Amino acid sequence: MNGKTIGVIGAGAWGTAMAQSLSSGGHDVELWALEADVVHDINTQHENKRYLKNIPLSPRLRAVSDIKEAASNKDFLILSSPSLYLARTVAQIVDIPSIVNGSTCIGVLTKGLIPTDTGPKLILDVLETVLPFAYRKNLVYISGPSHAEEVAAGKLTGLIAASENPKNSIRFRELMKVPGLMVFSSLDVVGVQICAAAKNVIAVIFGCLDAIAEQSNMFGDNTEALLLAAGLNEIQTLGFALGATHAETFTSIAGVGDLEVTCRSTYGRNRRFGRDIIQKNILDSFKNLDDCIERIGEIGYLPEGAVACKYIQEISRKLSIKLPICSGLYRILNKEIKPLDFLIELLR
């Protein structure tokens, strides 16, 4: 594929890493950032010092502060804003002519769920109500074990591009044939989205377990493997309850692959959050889960699992499905149970 014009909406670590990977592969990329210092640093020093420190960025990667500029007249547009802000961010670009007519192919990196008046919804379900009708069943969801630091550094990473429109999945697969990325197509947009959202919840509990294991002899590698397996079962249960279509999604890089790296890697923000709950008593600053979500910016990084666990709790209650680990994190963040007491209860 010849060099394409690409807009990336959201200059956090993952959005910046994807922009870097694509620009290094020969594409012209404009990256929208909300923060003026991020735009300045990327354009003058070729580094995102706020969100992706010490990673040199390609000179052909250009940052902009005007979201319409980043989204207009692009062959491809990639959405990477956090789930909490995604819908309102996308609402700012729906009147752009190349979006109105559907000529720009849109992919989504954001992981999580989005609240609506009728309950939490999957990312693509919400975006299809915000974007013009041309994008119904045409969006592409991109996920997999992909820590931003490694993607930006060019370390080989596998991703899944899932869409109900197989042609669009293939278009993104071809677009991302750049050094360091290996992309596979999928039709299971529900399963891939659930894996991306729910694995962050499991990773927070894993972080709690990891930190407690350093302080006592109660838990070890065997216990962590037990938790990972149980977590994967919960992700699959939730996925099928919501309409996942392929069992192999959960044993692919979108499922077990992303779960494993999110739980075990030192780059993982959700694992870090779990460790901080134990080691830094970070929850002492918040009254309950809602207070934590409302003031989540005070944490200093964004643990998506804290937000996702609230929405997964709502879904599991509505569908009457049992998800002990996800429910357990909800109880921990809501200050209904201590992490150690929950883990003992869960693993007995």
pLDDT tens, residue by residue, 276-308: 999 999 999 999 999 999 999 999 999 999 999
Q: Which of 199, 287, 335, 338 is catalytic?
A: 199
Say yes or no to pLDDT of 2 above 80.
no
pLDDT value at residue 17: 98
Say yes or no to pLDDT of 109 above 90.
yes
Q: Tell me: do 249 and 161 sit in the same domain.
A: no
Q: Which of 143, 166, 187 is the last residue of a domain?
A: 187
Q: Tell me: do 164 and 195 sit in the same domain.
A: no
Q: Tell me: do 314 and 337 sit in the same domain.
A: yes
Q: Which of 187, 210, 226 is the last residue of a domain?
A: 187
- In this structure, are strands 76-79 and 105-108 parallel, antiparallel, or unpaired? parallel
- For residue 149, the surrounding DSSP H or E stretch is helix 148-152
* 318 among known catalytic residues: no
CA atoms 126, 130, 136, 142: torsion sign: negative
Q: Tell me: do 16 and 137 sit in the same domain.
A: yes
Q: Tell me: do 167 and 211 sit in the same domain.
A: no
> Which CA distances in Å does 310 have to 44, 185, 186, 316?
40, 30, 28, 10
- End-to-end Cα, the chain, rounded Å: 54
Phi, psi of 303 (to 5 degrees): -85, 95
Mean pLDDT of 50-74: 96
Q: Which of 125, 153, 187 is the last residue of a domain?
A: 187
Phi, psi of 63 (to 5 degrees): -95, 145
pTM given for the model: 0.95
Q: Tell me: do 147 and 195 sit in the same domain.
A: no
Domain containing 182 — which CATH number?
3.40.50.720
Question: What are the pLDDT digits (tens) for 159-214?
Answer: 999 999 999 999 999 999 999 999 999 999 999 999 999 999 999 999 999 999 99
Say yes or no to pLDDT of 154 above 90.
yes
Say yes or no to pLDDT of 10 above 70.
yes
pLDDT value at residue 83: 92
Phi-psi category of residue 102: left, alpha or beta, with phi > 0 → left and psi -120 to 50 → alpha: left
Say yes or no to pLDDT of 43 above 80.
yes
Q: Tell me: do 10 and 157 sit in the same domain.
A: yes
pLDDT value at residue 249: 98
Counting the structural domains of the chain, the total is: 2
Q: Tell me: do 123 and 235 sit in the same domain.
A: no
pLDDT value at residue 1: 59
Q: Tell me: do 86 and 214 sit in the same domain.
A: no
Which residues, other chains included, contact 189 with Cβ-Cβ below 8 Å and sequence gap of 6+? Answer: 124, 141, 162, 163, 164
For residue 44, give its domain range.
Answer: 5-187
Which residues make beta-bridge pairs with 161?
142, 185
Say yes or no to pLDDT of 265 above 80.
yes
Q: Tell me: do 160 and 197 sit in the same domain.
A: no
Q: Tell me: do 100 and 228 sit in the same domain.
A: no
Domain containing 262 — which CATH number?
1.10.1040.10
Q: Tell me: do 60 and 82 sit in the same domain.
A: yes
